[in-house]
Amino acid sequence: MDARASADRIASAVAAGRTTATAVVEAALERIAERDKVLNAFTAVTRERARAKACAIDKARAEGKPAGPLAGVPFAVKNLFDVAGLPTLAGSKINRDRLPAAADSPLTARLEAAGAVLIGALNMGEYAYDFTGENVHYGPSRNPHDTARMTGGSSGGSGAAVAGGLVPIALGSDTNGSIRVPASFCGIFGLKPTYGRLSRARTFPFVASLDHVGPLARNTLDLALAYDAMQGHDPDDPVCSRRPPDPVLPLLGSGIGGLRIAIAGGYFKRGASPEALAAVARVAEALGASREIEVPEAARARAAAFVITTSEGAALHLERLRSRAGEFEPAIRDRLISGAMVPAPLVVKAQKFRRWYREQALRLFETIDAILAPATPFPAPRIGQQTMQLEGAEVPLRPNIGIFTQPISFIGLPVVAVPVPLEPLPIGVQIIAAPWREDIALRLAHALDQARVAAAPRPAE
Amino acid sequence: MGANEGDTVDDLVDAVAAALALPIEPEWKPGIRSNLQITLRLAAMVAELELPDEAEPASVFEA
């Protein structure tokens, strides 16, 4: 079996006895050993653990026990998820001094309970305060479509590992866009679920008010398989919802008839490159969407997300900034220290605005079911690039990467980022739904996947 | 902010660094200042929008 096979195909083949989990894992390890020299997606490969898990799956199958829905599927996690026996780096040098994690994150445990096999931990921007996938301590993760280009961040290793065919599924986190940005730049699917839907327990935090976790994959079926395996309340994450799981897999192929879809105009068109606009137009046409709506106060929402992020991030890292500031990546250190200087009333106002903006945005969903918007303003820039051309002016690159993702995660709406395979580089479109309606975003993404309007292009090697 | 924006921000950085016992190397200051200027500009944009006194922040604690 091709090491780049989908999770669905791997699990079916293992369940049917056409291959073994051991063969799948060995093929994945071989592929990682070969390709990761270039992509730099992994910071740890958990070989022996993966081999032992695969062996256990094969033994259980030989004994006639039922195979899980992800039987033998290799996956990897952004290195802010706890992996038993490894220090949880969160992309930093400082965290190398942490004690090894005593247990896996619950999402890892849930995926493994479904038969998946953890194969390693993935590179990321330091402490997740990043949209590029670059990292001074571990080197940049590299875009499989052009290794001179950024993966996007902060879940950069997750983007590179999935797009590069090293694993079919990876986990990432998304505070302001860190799943959707790498999905866009690397040309893969990413799900940022509703705030509170998936447990963040045993993950290294960034901004408690805004942190989400979710899966990335090369097709919607794999995304849904992973998502369903991870749903469910977890008392160890204080914001994890008590709602019962809403499995999306049974609904995935139920079609898109009757769904009312609108295109985000105004803010979401200004600052978008021709490629971003072309990708949205292609998706809109395929879904028969023509109505344009204005997401009220989106610019202010992005501003408020920025303010909350920098101040909560600073609060989290304050002691490390006091005692070990010289060990941070300099640009991230400067951002975090500046976050400690923001007067408190401005932060409280941003949280007040957040609730007001949520109410305005939710009104939109009284008459529509989903909103389309670009995931990033442009396709993957070059690694190290500092500025970009936007509407004829030269502007700083980094703060602009997240302008279209921030106003959405700010109020926790579920989003599937779908890859539109433009040449020479893919770019993502956000399919945004009302809270707890991941099913709608995934149904639409699946229809686009089936029609090949959205697809993860296979990189040349 | 007016013409002395740079000075005001520098004063704020120095005062808060002292209050929070944050050691700052002189060469970090330009980066910190420019980040803080961006944040204050964006925060002012949020603060401009008038909301009622009763507006509840989104950061909720459930007892």
Give me the interface pTM, i.e. the ipTM: 0.93
Per-residue DSSP letters for A221-269?
HHHHHHHHHH-S--TTSTTS--SPP---GGGTTS--TT--EEEE-GGGT
- CATH code linked to domain A7-234+242-302+341-450: 3.90.1300.10
Q: Determine whether the interchain pair B32/A338 forms a contact, defined as Cβ–Cβ distance below 8 Å.
A: yes
Q: Determine whether the interchain pair B43/A209 forms a contact, defined as Cβ–Cβ distance below 8 Å.
A: no
Mode of pairing for the β-strands spanning A117-122 and A42-45: antiparallel
pLDDT at A339: 98
Q: Which helix (H) or strand (E) holds A380?
A: none
pLDDT at B2: 46
Is residue A78 annotated as part of the catalytic site, yes or no?
yes
Query: Which one of the listed residues A178, A184, A199, A241 is annotated catalytic?
Result: A178
- Between CA A154 and CA A129 the distance in angstroms is 7
Q: Which of A176, A306, A352 to mutate to test the interface with B (most CBs of B within 10 A)?
A: A352
* CB half-sphere exposure, A372, CA atoms < 13 A: 30
Q: Determine whether the interchain pair B58/A299 forms a contact, defined as Cβ–Cβ distance below 8 Å.
A: no
Q: Which of B22, B24, B38, B42 to mutate to test the interface with A (most CBs of A within 10 A)?
A: B42
Angle of the A7-16 helix axis to the A21-39 helix axis, nearest 10? 160
For chain A, first and last CA: distance in Å? 18
A26 contact B CB<8A: no
Question: Chain A: nearest CA to B47, how far in angstroms?
Answer: 6
Taking CA atoms, what residue in B is nearest to A335? B35
A350 contact B CB<8A: yes
Contacts of B34 (CB under 8 A, 6+ apart): none
* CB half-sphere exposure, A323, CA atoms < 13 A: 4
Q: Determine whether the interchain pair B58/A209 forms a contact, defined as Cβ–Cβ distance below 8 Å.
A: yes
Q: Determine whether the interchain pair A342/B57 forms a contact, defined as Cβ–Cβ distance below 8 Å.
A: no
> For the segment A182-222, what is each residue's pLDDT rounded down to a tens digit?
999 999 999 999 999 999 999 999 999 999 999 999 999 99
A35-58 burial, b for 16+ CB within 10 Å, e for fewer? Answer: bbeebbbbbbbbeebbbebbeebb
Report chain B residues whose CB lies below 8 A from the CB of A324: none
Taking CA atoms, what residue in B is nearest to A311? B39
Residue numbers of chain A with a pLDDT score lower than 70 = none
* CB half-sphere exposure, A447, CA atoms < 13 A: 18
pLDDT at A1: 83
Question: Chain B: nearest CA to A458, how far in angstroms?
Answer: 38
- Between CA A340 and CA A317 the distance in angstroms is 9
Distances (CA, A) of A70 to A54, A109, A253, A383, A431: 12, 12, 19, 34, 25
pLDDT at B4: 58
Query: Which one of the listed residues A78, A105, A192, A241 is annotated catalytic?
Result: A78
Mode of pairing for the β-strands spanning A387-390 and A393-396: antiparallel
Question: Chain A: nearest CA to B3, how far in angstroms?
Answer: 20
Please tell me the pTM assigned to this model.
0.97
Is residue A311 annotated as part of the catalytic site, yes or no?
no
Query: Which one of the listed residues A92, A141, A154, A173 is annotated catalytic?
Result: A154
Question: Chain A: nearest CA to B10, how far in angstroms?
Answer: 11
Is residue A154 annotated as part of the catalytic site, yes or no?
yes
Tokens of A235: 């008392």
> For the segment B21-61, what is each residue's pLDDT rounded down to a tens digit?
999 999 999 999 999 999 999 999 999 999 999 999 997 66
CA angle A408, A217, A440 (to 5 degrees): 50
Is the model's pLDDT at B1 over the cut of 70?
Answer: no
Q: Determine whether the interchain pair A346/B13 forms a contact, defined as Cβ–Cβ distance below 8 Å.
A: no
**In 10 A of CB A243, how many CB atoms?**
13
Report chain A residues whose CB lies below 8 A from the CB of B38: 306, 399
Virtual CA dihedral for A143, A182, A301, B1, nearest 10 degrees?
A: -30
A:156-175 residues touching chain B, CB 8 A cutoff:
none
Which of B16, B47, B57 lies at the smallest CB-CB distance from A341?
B16
Amino acid at A286: A
Q: Determine whether the interchain pair A342/B40 forms a contact, defined as Cβ–Cβ distance below 8 Å.
A: yes
Q: Determine whether the interchain pair A341/B55 forms a contact, defined as Cβ–Cβ distance below 8 Å.
A: no
Q: Which of A338, A359, A360 to mutate to test the interface with B (most CBs of B within 10 A)?
A: A338
Q: Determine whether the interchain pair A331/B51 forms a contact, defined as Cβ–Cβ distance below 8 Å.
A: no
- Between CA A390 and CA A270 the distance in angstroms is 9
Q: Determine whether the interchain pair A322/B21 forms a contact, defined as Cβ–Cβ distance below 8 Å.
A: yes
Mean pLDDT of chain A: 97
Q: Which of A209, A309, A341 to mutate to test the interface with B (most CBs of B within 10 A)?
A: A341
* CB-CB contact of A154 with A133 (8 Å): yes
Amino acid at A68: G
